[in-house]
Structure 1
Amino acid sequence: MAALIEVEDLHFRYHDGTPALQGITLKIDQGEKVAILGPNGAGKSTLLLHLNGIYHAQQGVVRVAGEKITRANENWVRGKVGLVFQDPDDQVFSPTVWDDVAFGPLNQGLDRTTVEARVMEALRAVGMWDLRARAPHHLSYGQKKRVAIAGILAMNPEIIILDEPTAFLDPAGQRALFEILEKLHARGKTIIIATHDVDLAAEWATSVIFLKEGKLLAQGDTSLLVEDSLVREADLRHPIVSQVFRQVPALVIRPLPKTVAEGAHLIAQLVGEKERRRGFYIIS
């Protein structure tokens, strides 16, 4: 079965000639939770803008559900792939929360009854129903982020993309956001985020993509997050949990834990370990 998203030899340069993407080739399957990782300037946001047809490939091909993205079908693509920008102020602009969330489905040409049903469902999904009549400029940053997500949900895309979704959110806002994303994933949505937060990627993603200077370094499962050479090349770091275990020379652990749950499991093993060999704990 073909991948849900296919990118083949994608190249893109900015207006001043600066290369932004250089030969990107990757595939994303339906139902994945993907974290695109890389330092600032890696090309993460530029790649996302190609995946929903805001940018078009200058060389190479981007396909969604088997269809090549072109200017002729970009409206179809944006109904299939919803993009939540890093700054909700770039996306939330209508007089009220309700109007903002209704904007997308109305522009899809849907009838009023369908639009109202979608807006209601989307606002309830993100916990903003009670604020539907409020002006967006009276909302907190986190609330605006939820409205931006609701605006995408109301268009019922199969794929939801978020650019740096945790930027400027406090811990409570981050938890609320990812509770929403988990619910959406449980409903069958494919979710892609761009981030430089390796801890977030370790805890949340099912697969990761590493970018640097517009080039693809690697794509695979989250075990890549503890590959020393790759992490160094990508100018990132190991997850905090992994770093803790790396700081104890007497521990010989492979693979290193990446998440809090994996770390807790290993600690439980260590506490119950009865056999010591030459001052080393051996964990299999």
Structure 2
Amino acid sequence: MHDVEFSVFPDEVVALVGGNGAGKSTLLEHLNATLVPDDGELVVGGTPISEDNKARARREVGFVFQDADTQLVAPTVLDDVMFGLQNYGVPVDEAREHAREALTTVDAGHLEDRIPHYLSGGEKRLVGLAGVLVLEPSVVVLDEPLAGLDPERSRLVAERIQKIHQDGISVVLSTHDLDFAAEVADRVCVMADGNVVGGGTPREVFYDDALLDEANLHPPSAVRVARDAGLAAAQPVTEAELVSLLTGAADQHSVQTPSTGGGGRD
């Protein structure tokens, strides 16, 4: 990465998008000081982060890795979610209570006695997310949260991401799935060649053909269909927005089409 300027503000979901090798994962790993920049600085809550105070970044910015197995270290799910709190010296009973609350938040309380490595991919992501939430971060970072998941597990993880945002936690995620980014993001940052080359709301980004071409990206399905249907002027970016437009267009056509039923006299 080089010359990157990137900020996360309270109460927002930011999606990082870009092709393979664009620098998304590398940027994310700087946000909680997994990596520390050689030049420039990482500032968390107004405090510059260095080798000496990495713990502050890791407490404020929780990181859920793409490979969930790298985060699962304990013999049971409950032990795993408790692990971070115990590292900070929280008594066992208190850590257990908070861990159960975090599992409930991601709808994974029923997994507490399971062995983590025997869970499905989606279940591992939820447990990893609970292990981050239990530390009460102000920002949660997820690297490709839907990678390798089937549609049902993807839906479940996406719902949990939206829920933690509703609870007041900012979210930063990287994704190759622009339909998903359009659904969940307040702001989209586009990366190419190790830098943030553009950004804005999903509507601003996904109708900017030059920007998407620079990052070797194709717009979300709703954008492509809207263009094919002659509805691009309304700029829908999500499936729900597109369906609403198509339904409205169909209703208008139905109203404007004259009746062809018989009405003459015998």
Report the CA distance between 1:252 and its aligned residue: 5.8
2:250 aligned with 1:268: no
Matches within 5 A, 1:1-284: 21-223=1-203, 224-248=205-229, 251=230, 253-273=232-252
CA RMSD of aligned residues (A): 1.6
1:271 partner letter: A
Asked whether the equivalents of residues 31 and 190 of structure 1 are also in contact (C-alpha less than 8 Å), the reply is yes
Identity rate, percent: 37
Q: Distance in 2 between matches of 1:133 and 1:222?
A: 40
- Structure 1: runs of 5 or more not aligned: 1-20, 277-284
Counterpart secondary structure, 1:42: coil
Larger radius of gyration: 2
Asked whether the equivalents of residues 26 and 219 of structure 1 are also in contact (C-alpha less than 8 Å), the reply is no
Report the CA distance between 1:253 and its aligned residue: 3.4
Asked whether the equivalents of residues 223 and 235 of structure 2 are also in contact (C-alpha less than 8 Å), the reply is yes
Q: Distance in 2 between matches of 1:51 and 1:29?
A: 13
Q: 1:95 to 1:271 in 2, by over 3 A?
A: same
User: Higher relative contact order at CA 8 Å, sep ≥6: structure 1 or structure 2?
Assistant: 2
Report the CA distance between 1:110 and its aligned residue: 1.7
Deviation by residue 1:33-54 (Cα, 9 ceiling, x = unmatched) = 1100011101000001100011
134-143 or 188-197: bigger deviation: 134-143
Q: Decide which structure has greater strand share.
A: 1
Q: Distance in 1 between matches of 2:151 and 2:186?
A: 22
Q: Distance in 2 between matches of 1:133 and 1:265?
A: 44
Q: 1:219 to 1:253 in 2, by over 3 A?
A: closer
Q: Distance in 2 between matches of 1:273 and 1:128?
A: 45
2:103 partner letter: L
Corresponding position of 1:5: none
Asked whether the equivalents of residues 223 and 232 of structure 2 are also in contact (C-alpha less than 8 Å), the reply is no
- Structure 2: runs of 5 or more not aligned: 257-266
Per the normalisation by structure 1, the TM-score is 0.85
Report the CA distance between 1:258 and its aligned residue: 0.9
Per the normalisation by structure 2, the TM-score is 0.91
Asked whether the equivalents of residues 33 and 192 of structure 1 are also in contact (C-alpha less than 8 Å), the reply is yes
Asked whether the equivalents of residues 78 and 96 of structure 2 are also in contact (C-alpha less than 8 Å), the reply is no
1:253 partner letter: A
Report the CA distance between 1:255 and its aligned residue: 4.1
Deviation by residue 1:28-79 (Cα, 9 ceiling, x = unmatched) = 2101011000111010000011000110011112211111111111111101
1:42 partner letter: A
Q: Distance in 2 between matches of 1:63 and 1:89?
A: 29
Q: Decide which structure has greater helix share.
A: 2
Deviation by residue 1:113-134 (Cα, 9 ceiling, x = unmatched) = 3312210101112222222122
Moved over 6 A (4+): none
